Amino acid sequence: MNLKIAILAGDGIGPEVTHEAVNILQAVAEAGGHDFTFTEALLGGVAITAKGTPLPQETIDIALDSDAVLLGAVGDNKFNALSPDKRPESGLLQIRQILGGFANLRPSVAYPALSENSPLRPEVTKGVDILFVRELLGGLYFGQPRSWNKDASAPGGGEAINTMRYTRDEVVRVARIAFELAGKRRKKLTSVDKANVLECSQLWRATVDSLKSDYPDITVEHQLVDSMAMHLMNVPRNFDVVLTENLFGDILSDESGIITGSLGMLPSATIGGKVNLYEPVHGSAPDIAGTGKANPLGAILTAAMVLRHSANLEQEALAIEAAVQQVLTAGHRTADIARGNISATVTTQQMGKLVHSALAESIDRSQSLHAV
């Protein structure tokens, strides 16, 4: 297997966690005789500092010439005075648009070893395994017109406009991915909207319903977003694949960090475009950058998604996920998931090495079994 991976480590803790994810991918490549090529490029605040723009053309070229893009995190408070289109985050929105991925996959898994990290009772989170499928290129984040009239003397003291817009085709393409993924899991799809008040959501619901006959083995239910926010905390085991529009998916998938115990545990993949884009859900956390406190597990689990969705290496992806579970079960914790157990706290680099060792042991056992 040959795979070209663009590495956009970004800002804050991005380079630290991405480094650990790349180490894991290299271990998989070496063990399996694969040829993974890693090419680094600038995105976000580091790109503004070096190139004067959050997304240089060189980065675009490298990304489009790759089989997958692995991103760390984007954002730095020192750029907050810039206009929104020049801030680090605008580079992230631009690269998403350029790569064309419209389906953002965000798994939320309740790890037994972290049951005490969630404020939810263990009996509520036990066995939870949810896959959010978030539409990523439409809705309020991209709809036009959008504007902000800052003139305080204007009627009403100024005005700001954002537009939520969807076409049927945009809903169809992301819904089909959700249906197909549900077919590979527990065959249940929950579609989230606000159809009682929003025309966009009425279109969304009608479109999802129109596709049900193409997937007769999938059970489909609809939830209003406010009800879903409550049910996600009360009965998360009721959900398997959750399909949402852009804004609702952003909020709900972040909320699901309560289930896992930390946003630092959440990976994501954006698929459906020219090149798949992979990134942990957490932000750049500039306040802890360089301190060794960052949790690399979200990035490492994101590396597993690279193997699953861009390399079709399902067994290797499962091996990485099992290694993460093994390390957590052994009691190792980064600061965000330590829950006061300081003696169990390890640094970003140490956690990466622990997962690497667990993965290597798993690979050795597997190779020994194949040799028998």
Q: Which residue, among 89, 183, 179, 170, has the nearest Cα to 136 in the 3D structure?
A: 170
Task: Specify whether 226 is catalytic.
Answer: yes
Q: What's the half-sphere exposure (Cβ side, CA atoms, 13 Å) at 21?
A: 37
Cα 221 off chain centre by = 24
Active-site residue, selected from the candidate residues 61, 151, 214, 226: 226
Burial of residue 193 (number of CB atoms within 10 Å: 0-12, 13-18, 19+) = buried
Catalytic residue among 67, 187, 254, 353: 254
Our answer to whether residue 240 is catalytic in this structure is no
Residue 310's closest CA among 73, 133, 63? 63
Q: Which parts of 13-128 are beta strand (E)?
A: 35-40, 68-73, 103-109
**110 to 138, 221, 364: CA distances (angstroms):** 29, 23, 27
| Dihedral, 46, 50, 51, 57 alpha carbons, nearest 10 | -60
Catalytic residue among 194, 240, 293, 336: 194
Q: Does residue 336 have an active-site annotation? A: no
Which pair of tokens denotes residue 50?
A: 């070096």
293 counts as catalytic: no
Q: Residue 65: helix, strand or coil by DSSP?
A: coil
**Catalytic hit among 76, 193, 240, 250:** 250
Q: State the first-to-last Cα distance of the chain, in angstroms, to the nearest integer.
A: 25
Does the annotation count 214 as an active-site position? no
- Which is the catalytic residue, given 51, 129, 141, 212? 141
**What amino acid positions are annotated as catalytic residues?**
141, 194, 226, 250, 254
